[in-house]
């Protein structure tokens, strides 16, 4: 049995960027890995932008639609990725997105970064 490892994507509100990243990551179906999302200051609901940007993609069904959760509510991940977050917590990976508007360019940038990250992850032993 393979040990399951978790990548936690964190963005300021846990409602958009981190949700998109987690959906793209989970869509890769990397053996032994799964992704979750959280927010530094979580919104009360998932951003409509996340569903809009993922509509028509093969990962739309993987978008976590549960209420955004705070970073403290998620068990310690194997890897923590901070997306556009100030240095308020320790993260192994920090991304500052070039595109800051919730559009197809941002979604594409997140997708590309997720694929590059996944390529660096070793399969669990």
Report pLDDT digits (tens) over 101-122: 999 999 999 999 999 999 999 7
Which of residues 80 and 2 earns the better pLDDT score? Answer: 80
Q: What total number of domains does the chain contain?
A: 1
Query: Is position 77 within any domain?
Result: yes
For residue 124, what pLDDT is reported? 63
32-89 per-position pLDDT tens digit:
999 999 999 999 999 999 999 999 999 999 999 999 999 999 989 999 999 999 888 8
pTM: 0.94
CA–CA dist 107, 122 (Å, integer) = 25
| Domain carrying residue 66 | 5-120
Query: Is position 125 within any domain?
Result: no
- C-alpha closest to that of 79 among 107, 40, 117: 117
């Amino acid at each position: 049995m393979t040990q399951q490892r978790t990548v936690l994507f964190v963005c300021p509100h846990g409602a958009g960027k981190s949700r998109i990243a987690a959906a793209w990551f989970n869509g890769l179906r990397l053996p032994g890995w799964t992704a979750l999302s959280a927010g530094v200051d979580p919104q009360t609901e998932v951003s409509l932008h996340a569903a809009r940007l993922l509509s028509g993609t093969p990962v739309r069904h993987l978008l976590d639609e549960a209420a955004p959760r705070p970073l403290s509510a998620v068990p310690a991940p194997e890897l923590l990725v901070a997306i556009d977050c100030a240095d308020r917590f320790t993260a192994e990976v920090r991304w500052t997105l070039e595109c800051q508007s919730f559009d197809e360019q941002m979604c594409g940038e997140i997708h590309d970064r997720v694929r590059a990250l996944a390529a660096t992850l070793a399969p669990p032993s």
